[in-house]
Amino acid sequence: MLKKNSFLFVLFVNLLNFNTALCKSQLLELSLSDAIHISQERSIESYIAQSTFRINQLEYTNFRYSMMPNLSLSLAPGNYSRSIQEQWNNNTESYEFAEVNRLSSSGNLSLSKNIRLTGGTLSVNSNIYRNQSFGNSNYIGYNLQAFSISYSQSIGKVNQIKLQDKIQQLIFEEAKKNFLEGKEQLAIKTSQYFFDLLFAQLNNNIAGLNKNIADSLYQLGFTKKSIGGITDYDLQVLELKKTIAGIELIKIQSQKKEADYNLLAILDMPEDSEIMCLVPNSIASALVNFEYARNLAYSNNPDLFSFNRKILEVDNSIKQAKSSKYDIYFSANVGYNKNSQEINSLFNKMDQMQSMNISVNIPILDWGEQKRNVKITETNKEIVNYQIKESYKEIDKKLFKLVEEYNMQQKIIETSSRSNDIARKTYEFVVKRFDLGKASILEISEAYRDMKYSQNSYIEALKNYWIYYYSLRAICMYDFINDVRL
């Protein structure tokens, strides 16, 4: 019996030593950093985030190319019509209804460019038009606009091209920061599932060992009872302990299955995969300064960064509302064209063409609509400013709590690690004393509870530490361990 208990003692030591208690027969040993890396590469959430960011990249690329010169060719190779239409008769000097039988075709080559500096549009065009009438005259005519350059723009209005360029840049920067923040949120979620499974695996080891020890103690008690070493009551207590240990093991095994499923799901691994979670054996020793973290959050946090765009948009709305008192539009066009009934003569002695247009629209009576629109946009800006102020307060409050808890957690880990070692050794010692008849069943139960509580406290401290750490990374967009921006 002593030999059997010695074997259990060795098994106990091997199972509960956090630095060496990882079973090598498992299919995959997984550290916390490995789990986070896999989830950020393979999870469904990661695929969705990557796809969303690719869409943002493509949308921004489309916008950048929309600012480049645009070359287009439009063709209308055949447009035939036959109808009765009202026509002017020079002989009778009156309108008459006559049959019109006509075939036309045209082609246009256009090069256009939005001008960011002014907000106008510059374009160069070349087009040709052919018209053929069937009937008595059987007329064929050509019109060639060999070259024309035109420019158009609104005057006194907000430069929408320049504004949209700034806004789209900010939107893309937001998309990059949101993508990085999403990865950190996924790291937090993965850490939660990782430690849930680690809890379950270590508790399963303890529960399994506790059941084996309870079985052995019952057998030992049965032997002692036969020689009068313990009473019937003591034997019944040992039997109850054995039963409770079995029930506890079943419950913990059920919890372990659920934790296994959750972690495998976020890692996008087959459900029959076996994972052994490794206990993190190191933490960062440096503390985080609140003021330093706050400055990082103000500069990098996606929610706060989006306020730059919101302020730009609301300021633009105010400018647009104020500029709606009038509308001035300017356009100019110069080039060369030629009409001819023969296509070969189109390029001979071409005529110069010029045009310029300025239009002004001034509302005389709008019943105060323009003033009300200005007031609405200014009120919207006040609302945005209040929202920004409140968001900064919320960030400060959340960040202060995170920094305090993160810094405090390092001390908690040191203390709980020491308590865990003491509780484990105490339990080993009490089991050995009971085998020698020098400890009671009550002492074993108390030592077991202390050991389990200390182990769970230690793992809970590690779990909180890493969740706080990745939460700080997410809010500040900063890697505090390697001292670099994300």
Q: What residues does 126 pair with on adjacent strands?
A: 109
More confident residue, 33 or 12: 33
| 181 class by beta-carbon count within 10 Å (0-12 exposed, 13-18 middle, 19+ buried) | buried
Give the mean pLDDT of 218-229.
74
More confident residue, 461 or 329: 461
Does residue 144 sit in the same domain as residue 184? Answer: no
Q: What would the pLDDT profile of 332-362 be if each residue is shown by its tens digit? A: 888 888 777 777 777 777 777 888 888 888 8
In a domain, 369, yes or no: no
Q: What residues does 73 pair with on adjacent strands?
A: 109
Residue 331 has pLDDT above 70, yes or no: yes
Tokens of 311: 């302020």
Q: What would the pLDDT profile of 359-395 be if each residue is shown by its tens digit? A: 888 888 878 888 888 899 889 989 989 989 998 999 9
Does residue 200 sit in the same domain as residue 252? Answer: yes
Return phi, psi of residue 43, to 5°. Answer: -70, 160
Give me the pLDDT at residue 228, please. 67
Give me the pLDDT at residue 66, please. 86
Does residue 216 sit in the same domain as residue 295? Answer: yes
Does residue 139 sit in the same domain as residue 184? Answer: no
Tokens of 470: 């990745």
CA distance 43 to 193: 13
In a domain, 228, yes or no: yes
Give me the pLDDT at residue 452, please. 82
192: containing domain: 2-59+165-310+382-485
Does residue 46 sit in the same domain as residue 95? Answer: no
In 3D, which of 134, 67, 148 has the Cα closest to residue 98? Answer: 134
- Contact partners, residue 404, CB within 8 Å, separation at least 6: 290
Q: CATH number for the domain including 287?
A: 1.20.1600.10
Give me the pLDDT at residue 18, please. 35
Return phi, psi of residue 239, to 5°. Answer: -65, -40
Does residue 284 sit in the same domain as residue 351? Answer: no
In a domain, 43, yes or no: yes
Does residue 103 sit in the same domain as residue 79? Answer: yes
CA distance 112 to 68: 9
Residue 232 has pLDDT above 70, yes or no: yes
Give me the pLDDT at residue 229, please. 64
Does residue 429 sit in the same domain as residue 300? Answer: yes
- Per-residue confidence at 7, pLDDT binned at 50, 70, 90? very low
In a domain, 211, yes or no: yes
Does residue 298 sit in the same domain as residue 418? Answer: yes
Return phi, psi of residue 18, to 5°. Answer: -65, -25
Give me the pLDDT at residue 266, please. 92
Does residue 11 sit in the same domain as residue 54? Answer: yes
Cβ pair 350, 340 in contact under 8 A: no
Q: What residue type is 398 in one-letter code?
A: K
Give me the pLDDT at residue 308, please. 85
Give the mean pLDDT of 399-428.
90
In 3D, which of 34, 289, 412 has the Cα closest to residue 187? Answer: 34
Model pTM?
0.77
Top mean-pLDDT range of 99-113, 332-346, 443-457: 99-113
Does residue 191 sit in the same domain as residue 257? Answer: yes
In a domain, 450, yes or no: yes
The tally of domains found in the chain comes to 2
In a domain, 316, yes or no: no
Q: How far is CA 403 from CA 320, 398, 442, in A?
A: 44, 9, 42
Does residue 223 sit in the same domain as residue 253? Answer: yes
Q: What residue type is 41 in one-letter code?
A: E
In a domain, 67, yes or no: no
In 3D, which of 431, 412, 463 has the Cα closest to residue 202? Answer: 463
How many of the other CB atoms lie within 10 Å of CB of 3?
Answer: 6
CA distance 149 to 122: 7
**Packing angle of the helix pair 32-42, 44-66 (nearest 10 deg):** 50
The H or E element containing residue 274 is none
In a domain, 471, yes or no: yes
